[in-house]
Amino acid sequence: METRFLMEEANPKGYAGMFELEKAQASSSIDPVLKELIKIRASQMNGCAFCLNMHTKDARQNGETEQRIYALNAWKEAPFYTEKERAVLALTEAVTRIADAGLPDAVYNEVRAHFSEAETAELIMLVVTINAWNRIAVATRKMPAN
């Protein structure tokens, strides 16, 4: 498979806008490991090899374990995640598949049991941002670096 085109070259203004959105998330109060779990889980769901490659490396650099990265697809059954992380992973899945059932109250309420309104807004923006990146990378067939 080959990259169709590079979005950053074909649409530099749009791509720059995406980087502004990404930069806005950099100052988030959310734990860096949790941010990477969000990015990995959404990227798994969206089949984004480019983002999976990038964010599993980033997660390792932030101290995430191989075991938890490998088991992320099965987070509901795996005992390696806290209740707080589970709430965020459920949010990630609901927002990634927003067309299926919206954001169910039970998922939202579980997140709010662990996070403030401002933090919940940050989490939603993190999920929205990685989903946008996934769609760009998948649509353009952006290839991961070796």
pLDDT band at residue 1 under the 50/70/90 scheme: confident
Residue-wise pLDDT tens digits, 28-74: 899 999 999 999 999 999 999 999 999 999 999 999 999 999 999 99
Residue 38 tokens, joined: 């969000």
Predicted confidence (pLDDT) per residue in 73-122, tens digit: 999 999 999 999 999 999 999 999 999 999 999 999 999 999 999 999 99
Asked whether the CA dihedral 101, 17, 27, 65 is positive or negative, the reply is positive
pTM above 0.85, yes or no: yes
List, in order of start, the domains of the chain with CATH numbers. Answer: 7-140 (1.20.1290.10)
What does the longest C-alpha to C-alpha distance in the chain come to?
Answer: 44
